[in-house]
C-alpha cells in the first residue's frame, strides 16, 4: 500500500465527511446525544446504500480496474495527477480496463467508501462517549467500524487480485452486511418497536437467509459475466435444461475467466452459474411473496408487506429485463439496488419486531433467608 496516497485520500475523505457532519450538527443543535446519533446513523445508512449502488455501477461499467493500484490512482490522490499514466494505458488499449472515465468512476467509489468510513469512525467514538445515555451497547458501533475496515481490505484485494471472482462477491456481501449493521443501530435509536408473532419472525428470518443466498448467486453471476450465458426466458438458449458444467462453474478459488484446472472457463460453466441463480430465484420469490402476504394481514406491519411486494415485483422485472434486453445498464443497476433495498427492508423489519429484553427477575429467597 502507498502510505502517502492513503494519507492524502484519508484527508480528502475527512474534508468530504465534514459536509454531512455539519448538516447533522446544525439540524440537531440542542438535542440529546441519542437524537444526534440517530441522525448521523441515518445519513451514514443513506450514503452506504449509495455506496453499494455506485459499487455496482463501477463493476457493471467495467471500471473496477480503472485505477489498477490501491488506494490511489497510479500513486496519486485523483486521476488529475495520473493523467500521463492513464493516457499511456488508454493509448495502448483504447478499450482496455484503464480509461479516463473509468479512472474517475473507480476513484469516486473510493472517495465515497472512505467518507463512509470516516462517518462510522465518528459514530463509534461518539457512541463510546455517550454510552451511558444510549439504548444499546457501543460495541455495536465498534463492530460496524471493524467491519468497514474488513470491507476496505476486500476493496483493496478486488483491485490487487484483478477482480478475483470470490473476492468481488464477498465484497458485495460485506457491503450488504454493513448496511444491515447500520439499519439495526438506527432502529435502536428510534425506539419504535412493532408487534409480530414468533412464527412471522421465523418466516422473515428464513426468507432473509434465502435472500442472502440468492444475492450471493447473483454476485457470482455478475462477477463471472454470466448474465448473457442464457438468452431467452423461460428457456435458456432454446432449451429447458441446457448443457451445464456445475463443478467448473462453482469452483470458488480461481481467477476471473479461468477454470480451476488452469484453463479457460467453459461456456457450459457460465450457463450453470446463470441457471443456478435463475432456478433459486423461484424459491426466493415464493418465500418473499408468502412473507409479504403474511405481513399484509398484520395491520401494524402492512406497510412492510406492501413495500416487500413492490420490491419483489421490481426485482423480477429488472431480472427478466437483463436477460430479454441483453443486460442494459439501467436494468442491471436497478437489480443491484433492488437487492440492497430488500436486505434493508428485511433488516428493519426484524430489528423493529425484535422482542424487547425483559429485566432480570430476582431469585426467590430461600426459607431460611425469608425467616431471617
Give residue-wise pLDDT tens across range 146-167: 999 999 999 999 999 999 999 9
Task: Name the pLDDT band for 357 (thresholds 50, 70, 90).
Answer: low
Nearest to 207 by CA among 294, 135, 297, 266: 294
Report pLDDT digits (tens) over 56-67: 999 999 999 999
Nearest to 175 by CA among 136, 219, 140: 219
Can you tell me the distance from the alpha carbon of 147 to that of 144, in angstroms, rounded to the nearest whole number? 5
Report pLDDT digits (tens) over 155-199: 999 999 999 999 999 999 999 999 999 999 999 998 889 999 999
Proportion of the chain above pLDDT 70, given as a percent: 95
Mean pLDDT over the full length of the chain? 92
Catalytic residues: 106
What pairs with residue 73 in β-bridges?
A: 76
Task: Name the pLDDT band for 4 (thresholds 50, 70, 90).
Answer: confident
Kindly give the interhelix angle for 33-60 and 198-223, rounded to the nearest 10 degrees.
Answer: 40
Residue 291 has pLDDT above 80, yes or no: yes
3-state helix, strand, coil in the chain (%, to 5): 70, 0, 30
Residue 133 has pLDDT above 90, yes or no: no
DSSP H/E element including 187: helix 165-190
Nearest to 343 by CA among 208, 239, 197: 208
Report pLDDT digits (tens) over 345-356: 999 999 999 886
Can you tell me the distance from the alpha carbon of 223 to that of 164, in angstroms, rounded to the nearest whole number? 8
pLDDT for 364 equals 45
pTM of the model as a whole: 0.92
Task: Name the pLDDT band for 360 (thresholds 50, 70, 90).
Answer: very low
Can you tell me the distance from the alpha carbon of 179 to that of 48, in angstroms, rounded to the nearest whole number? 6
User: Up-side HSE of residue 24: CA atoms within 13 Å toward CB?
Assistant: 21
Task: Using alpha carbons only, give the angle 62, 66, 68 rounded to the nearest 5 degrees.
Answer: 120
Q: How many residues does the chain have?
A: 372
pLDDT for 22 equals 94
Report pLDDT digits (tens) over 216-257: 999 999 999 999 999 999 999 999 999 999 999 999 999 999
CB atoms within 10 A of CB 224: 22
Q: Give φ, ψ of 194 to 5 degrees.
A: -125, 145
Q: Give φ, ψ of 13 to 5 degrees.
A: -65, -35
pLDDT for 225 equals 95
- The mean-pLDDT minimum among 252-261, 276-285, 358-367 falls in 358-367
pLDDT for 356 equals 64
Proportion of the chain above pLDDT 90, given as a percent: 85
Amino acid at each position: 500500500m502507498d502510505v502517502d496516497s492513503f494519507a492524502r485520500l484519508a484527508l480528502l475523505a475527512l474534508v468530504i465527511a465534514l459536509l454531512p457532519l455539519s448538516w447533522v450538527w446544525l439540524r440537531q443543535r440542542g438535542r440529546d446525544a441519542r437524537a444526534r446519533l440517530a441522525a448521523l446513523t441515518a445519513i451514514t445508512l443513506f450514503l452506504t446504500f449509495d455506496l453499494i449502488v455506485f459499487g455496482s455501477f463501477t463493476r457493471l461499467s467495467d471500471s473496477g480496474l480503472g485505477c489498477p493500484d490501491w488506494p490511489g490512482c497510479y500513486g496519486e490522490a485523483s486521476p488529475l495527477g495520473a493523467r500521463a499514466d492513464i493516457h499511456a494505458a488508454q493509448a495502448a488499449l483504447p478499450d482496455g480496463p484503464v480509461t479516463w472515465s473509468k479512472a474517475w468512476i473507480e476513484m469516486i467509489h473510493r472517495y465515497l467508501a472512505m467518507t463512509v468510513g470516516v462517518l462510522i469512525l465518528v459514530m463509534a467514538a461518539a457512541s463510546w462517549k455517550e454510552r451511558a445515555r444510549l439504548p444499546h451497547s457501543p460495541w455495536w458501533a465498534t463492530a460496524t467500524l471493524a467491519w468497514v475496515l474488513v470491507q476496505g481490505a476486500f476493496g483493496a484485494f478486488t483491485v490487487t487480485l484483478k477482480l478475483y471472482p470470490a473476492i468481488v462477491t464477498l465484497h458485495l456481501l460485506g457491503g450488504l452486511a454493513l448496511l444491515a449493521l447500520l439499519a439495526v443501530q438506527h432502529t435502536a435509536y428510534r425506539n419504535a418497536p412493532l408487534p409480530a408473532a414468533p412464527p412471522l419472525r421465523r418466516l422473515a428470518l428464513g426468507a432473509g437467509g434465502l435472500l442472502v443466498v440468492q444475492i450471493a448467486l447473483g454476485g457470482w453471476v455478475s462477477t463471472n459475466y454470466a448474465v448473457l450465458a442464457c438468452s431467452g426466458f423461460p428457456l435458456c438458449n432454446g432449451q429447458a435444461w441446457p448443457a451445464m458444467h456445475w463443478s467448473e462453474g462453482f469452483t470458488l478459488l480461481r481467477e476471473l475467466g479461468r477454470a480451476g484446472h488452469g484453463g479457460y472457463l467453459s461456456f457450459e460453466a457460465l450457463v450453470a452459474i446463470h441457471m443456478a441463480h435463475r432456478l433459486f430465484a423461484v424459491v426466493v420469490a415464493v418465500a418473499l411473496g408468502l412473507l409479504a402476504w403474511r405481513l399484509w394481514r398484520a395491520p401494524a406491519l402492512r406497510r412492510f408487506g406492501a413495500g416487500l411486494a413492490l420490491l419483489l415485483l421490481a426485482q423480477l422485472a429488472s431480472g427478466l429485463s437483463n436477460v430479454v434486453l441483453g443486460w442494459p445498464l439501467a436494468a442491471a443497476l436497478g437489480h443491484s439496488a433492488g437487492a440492497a433495498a430488500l436486505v434493508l427492508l428485511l433488516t428493519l423489519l426484524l430489528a423493529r419486531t425484535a422482542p424487547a429484553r425483559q429485566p432480570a427477575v430476582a431469585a426467590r429467597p430461600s426459607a431460611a433467608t425469608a425467616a431471617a
